[in-house]
Structures are given as C-alpha cells and as structure tokens.
Amino acid sequence: MKVTAHTTPTLYAGDNLLGVIATSLSTLPEKSVLVVTSKVVALWENAIIDTLSEYLKRKFPQIKIIPINDPVGDLGIVFPDGEVMRWDIKSSQALNSFTGATHSASKCDNYILINYAVDRNLKLKDGKNKGFITEIAVFVWDKMEAEWLGEHSEHSSFTSLKIPSEAKSNRPEIIVIGDLEPKTKWCAIIRKDLTDKTLTLI
C-alpha cells in the first residue's frame, strides 16, 4: 500500500482538530485512507482550561486560569496575590508512559498527565464525535519527583516518562481518574472504561 502524507495546518490549543480532519477527507482521492498521526493535544489543553475556568468561576472566583503555551508550561493558575503556578499538560496513548522532548527537562515540575485510548474505527465528523475517546486515566502531579528518560541525538529528541512504582504509595493523591498498579520498577496505568454506562468519573 502506498502511503502519501497529507499536509494539514498547524494546530494550537482551541483549534478544532476533528473539524480539520473532517474537512481534509473531502480533498482525498476516493480510494484513500487517512491516517491521523497528530496528537490530540489541542483538544485536551482547551478542554482542561475551559473546565477549570468554569469550576473556579463558581467555587473560587478570585482564582483564574490562563493559557500560557511557552517552553515552561501550558497553563497558569493565578492566585489573588498575583502568584502564577504553572502546569504542563501531557497526553499519551502509550500503554504505560508519556512522551516528551529533550526540552521537557526545562519545563515546570507540575504536570497534568492524561493517558487515553480512542476508537480507531469511528468515522469522524465535523462537530461532536461521541465515543471517540474510549478509555482514560488522569493524574495531577505537583512537584513531580519522576524524571524524563532519554537524551537528544541526531535521530531523535523524544523522551519518555514512566511513573515509578513507589508513586502509588507515596503520592496516592495524584490519581484523579483510573489507577496505578505498581510493578517491579514502574507503575502500570489503569484506564477507566468510558464505554461503561455505570461509570462515575469523579
């Protein structure tokens, strides 16, 4: 099978990724398969900022959420005294890890980690795509003790983050959705099944 790259616009937080994909379908030859390799980063960042902003507006209106998108982090929590607490958002479909780049070491040490699975057979359309995300685990980890693994080379600048096995007992409060299962050195990430009709996320 011949695979041809299909160029799409650069996407940022707030952009409609699924809309861009749906629009791209109409420009492809009839007998083609569109392989989506883009990270769904824009969707997660936008959703987190919107959800936190709505919650804080109701419960703690004096605290604000701002998008940042610089080398240090993706969002900031602005406290009444003007202090800004930066957070970086990482999402991954890898079973038990997260992917970063060599500059991850220069980021803040507060992380929102999202590990998820998608329905790869779902026909995407412009607008809502219910059922696209099938499983999810979320961890909110301030002052993260784990380290990014990997060094820059001429072939790759990717790094990997795995959650140490002791995190389950030392920092159980980081688990928001899903669970961690300690193994010999690292934790296995246990996602929540979003197709379960009886599921209560929080």
pLDDT per residue over 157-178, tens digit each?
A: 677 889 999 999 999 999 999 9
Residue 200 lies in a domain: no
Q: What is the average pLDDT value for the chain, to the nearest integer?
A: 79
Residue 44 lies in a domain: yes
* pLDDT the model gives residue 37: 46
41-100: pLDDT as tens digits: 677 888 899 999 999 999 999 999 999 878 788 899 999 999 999 999 988 888 899 887
Residue 7 lies in a domain: no
* pLDDT the model gives residue 153: 54
Strand boundaries in the chain, DSSP class E: 64-67, 75-78, 84-92, 98-101, 111-118, 133-141, 158-161, 175-177, 179-182, 187-190, 192-193
Residue 69 lies in a domain: yes
Both tokens of residue 18? 């699924």
Residue 48 lies in a domain: yes
Question: Which residues form the domain of 33?
Answer: 17-193
Which residues on adjacent β-strands are paired with residue 137? 115
Does residue 143 carry a pLDDT above 50? yes
Count of other CB atoms within 10 angstroms of residue 71? 11
Number of domains in the chain: 1
* pLDDT the model gives residue 64: 94
Residue 156 lies in a domain: yes
Residue 73 lies in a domain: yes
Instruction: Determine the average pLDDT of the residues in 113-140.
Output: 85
Residue 11 lies in a domain: no
Kind of pairing between the strands at 64-67 and 75-78: antiparallel
Instruction: List, in sequence order, the alpha helices (H) in 4-80.
Output: 17-25, 41-59
The model's confidence at residue 125, banded by pLDDT at 50, 70 and 90, is confident
* pLDDT the model gives residue 41: 67
The model's confidence at residue 1, banded by pLDDT at 50, 70 and 90, is very low
